[in-house]
Amino acid sequence: MTDAKNLTQLGKHVETPQSPEQAVLEAVPFQRGDGPPAIVRFTCPEFTSLCPVTGQPDFAHIVIDYAPDEMLVESKSLKLFMTSFRNHGAFHEECTVMIGRRIVEVTKPLWLRVGGYWFPRGGIPIDVFWQTGAPPKDVWLPDTGVAPYRGRG
């Protein structure tokens, strides 16, 4: 059983952080084992942030794939981190890359990619992709399952 005594949010009442900078992203130990690395996917189909110019909400479908090494993202802390963007004013590109970099900082995975599929504003969707490098050899990496432009499907 995983020792969770160092976690500050799991199993506790925690207020939603007011910004991504205030959000505490936590990790738990992981034993990888032999063979190709596992790919872990988190999908956030209702991600929201604020336009830094107008203050209006922006919406995205975020897909995070990563190959953990020794640490896993603790999912409650990830949910709180993702929710903290609701009050955060930043462009699509900054939000998407910030998500990937914070997870890398906390978990130091073998590999990570994040896809931000942003809903159109002004008729133009902006999809943002960031990854740490080439995926590990011999991993099964499924398609993200998100249409590049949701207006077509």
Is 95 labeled as catalytic in the residue annotation? no
Is 58 labeled as catalytic in the residue annotation? yes
Q: Which of 3, 34, 44, 58 is catalytic?
A: 58
Q: Is 75 one of the annotated binding-site residues?
A: yes
Structure tokens, 32: 């990888």
Q: Which of 3, 34, 44, 51 is catalytic?
A: 51
Q: Is 74 one of the annotated binding-site residues?
A: yes
Q: Is 93 one of the annotated binding-site residues?
A: yes
Q: Is 21 one of the annotated binding-site residues?
A: no
Q: Is 105 one of the annotated binding-site residues?
A: no
Active site residues: 51, 58
Q: Please give the annotated binding residues for substrate, written as ranges.
A: 73-75, 92-93
